Amino acid sequence: MKPVINLVIYLLLTLHAATAQVTKEQKSEAIDSVIKLMNERYIFPETAKKIELHLRKQQSNKAYDTISSAEAFAAKLTTDVRSICHDKHVTIRYSAEPLAINRNNDLMQISEEERKGYAEFLRFENYGVKKLEVLRGNIGYIDFKFLCGTEYAGDFYAAMMNYVQHTDALIIDFRHCGGAMSDNVIPFLCSYFFTDKTHLNDLYWRERNFTQQTWTQVVVPGKKYLNKPIYILTSGGTFSGAEEMAYDLKNLKRATIIGEVTGGGANPGGSVNLTKHFNMFLPVGRAINPITKTNWEGVGVQPDSLIMPRLALQKAHILAMKSSFNTSTDPGWKDELIRLIAQVEKETPVFTKVTFRLKGYANAKEVSVAGSFNEWSASSAKMKRQGDEWIVETIAEPGKHMYKFVIDGQWIIDPGNKETEMENGYSNSVVIVK
């Protein structure tokens, strides 16, 4: 969902996370704080009460007593809360570094002392843009890791949109995009795609009991990207604000969605520190689309063309060039597009079957494998219990892939595989697919 400004703080907190022991007192303090904050601020008050009852029952049943790892406790607490609310935004995390008992009043903002470091982080991360280029056939391509506010990236995003302005179609890649960090970035970007002021979305906030409308702008820096096709690529890892932009443009019939059903998180909120070492993402609002009168919470955004994420870019690229062919009046360019389309069609990757196995974890409710072969989607390759292990057969391109198992929301490296590799501060298991 759009206002997820503290996603970056979450990323930083996760990078500093480490295995640590947690005491009984620390667990009780974290549970009490979760219950208090959910009752006070969670978007659905009735659900918050049910969560309180469930967590107290878990405590009385000693469900947390044998957990000694702080990370495992955070994962278990997250799973228990989600088992009632089914809200994928709700996440409890552990930080090895002490946290300030913080800004409980405004989850949508960061403090002044954090702002400089936040701005530097965004700059180092290229404001969430992984790749910006013009593909063969004069097709624009933007690959997002996340979306951030225009107060930090407005000039950058305007330059980005002007860079692709001359292209004949635009592909926006949200397959790896985990969300947006501001309530202004989606209206800003979408403003390039509409001539007139257009109603995109509404956000209802429990606190103050009000509804906020979001609209596109009539005027943008540079030229608008009008009357040309837009394709949005999705995966099971597409989440939150990325889903909203896909959902908005799909319902306004301004973009074609290609890929996998998205993650299904439509309740905006922010990060709050529960204790000195535990942090929670707390949803305090919900989206209401002006066309559908609902949102994508729990169901995800349904693609117009359902295809495995690894093939989505190729399909969108071909469709974009075919659209350009149909509208072009230049015979020479049409011949070139025919050649390029045939060229891209021949580049379909070859996949190999690969089986993943995980021993133990007999009491787990849901286990999956996520990795570079499936866009790190925790929902694409769910495992089944067979005997004393969990098994799944999936497909991957030949070569090296990194992966992790996801056990009831907790990500772990493969205990049966000694081969690991670091990426972006995370240790991942490695498999070579032949």
Report pLDDT digits (tens) over 43-101. 999 999 999 999 999 999 999 999 999 988 999 999 999 999 999 999 999 998 888 76
Query: Residue 7 has what pLDDT?
Result: 43
Q: Grade residue 375 by pLDDT with cuts at 50, 70 and 90.
A: confident
- The stretch 392-396 carries a mean pLDDT of 95
Query: Residue 409 has what pLDDT?
Result: 80
Q: Which residues of 97-123 are buried (b: 16+ CB within 10 A; e: fewer)?
A: eebeebbeeebbebeeebeeebeebbe
Query: Residue 115 has what pLDDT?
Result: 82
Q: What is the mean pLDDT of the chain?
A: 91
pLDDT at 298 over 80: yes
DSSP letter for 106, please. Answer: -
- Cβ-based neighbour number of residue 304 at 10 Å: 13
**Nearest by Cα to 319 from 226, 233, 244:** 233
pLDDT at 165 over 70: yes
pLDDT at 8 over 60: no
pLDDT at 15 over 50: no
pLDDT at 4 over 50: no
Q: Grade residue 19 by pLDDT with cuts at 50, 70 and 90.
A: low
Q: Grade residue 343 by pLDDT with cuts at 50, 70 and 90.
A: very high
- The stretch 251-277 carries a mean pLDDT of 94
- The stretch 192-208 carries a mean pLDDT of 96
- Taking the C-alpha atoms of residue 239 and residue 180, their distance in angstroms, rounded to an integer, is 9
Query: Residue 108 has what pLDDT?
Result: 60
pLDDT at 105 over 60: no
Query: Residue 9 has what pLDDT?
Result: 40
Q: How is residue 403 written in tokens? A: 């992966």
Query: Residue 60 has what pLDDT?
Result: 96
Query: Residue 117 has what pLDDT?
Result: 87
Query: Residue 113 has what pLDDT?
Result: 75
pLDDT at 393 over 90: yes
- The stretch 324-345 carries a mean pLDDT of 98
Measured CA distances, 37 to 270, 336, 341 (Å): 12, 60, 54
- The stretch 213-221 carries a mean pLDDT of 97
Residues, the chain? 434
Question: What SS3 class is residue 266?
Answer: coil
- Residues above pLDDT 70, as percent of the chain: 93
Give burial (CB, 10 Å; 0-12/13-18/19+) of 395: middle
Give burial (CB, 10 Å; 0-12/13-18/19+) of 93: buried
pLDDT in tens, 107-127: 666 777 778 888 999 999 999
- The stretch 1-7 carries a mean pLDDT of 39
Q: Grade residue 14 by pLDDT with cuts at 50, 70 and 90.
A: very low
- Taking the C-alpha atoms of residue 242 and residue 91, their distance in angstroms, rounded to an integer, is 18
Q: Which domains does the chain have, with CATH numbers?
A: 24-86 (no CATH), 113-271+283-346 (3.90.226.10), 352-433 (2.60.40.10)
Query: Residue 100 has what pLDDT?
Result: 78
Q: Grade residue 102 by pLDDT with cuts at 50, 70 and 90.
A: low
- Residues above pLDDT 90, as percent of the chain: 82
- Taking the C-alpha atoms of residue 277 and residue 101, their distance in angstroms, rounded to an integer, is 10
- The stretch 178-189 carries a mean pLDDT of 94
Q: Grade residue 380 by pLDDT with cuts at 50, 70 and 90.
A: confident
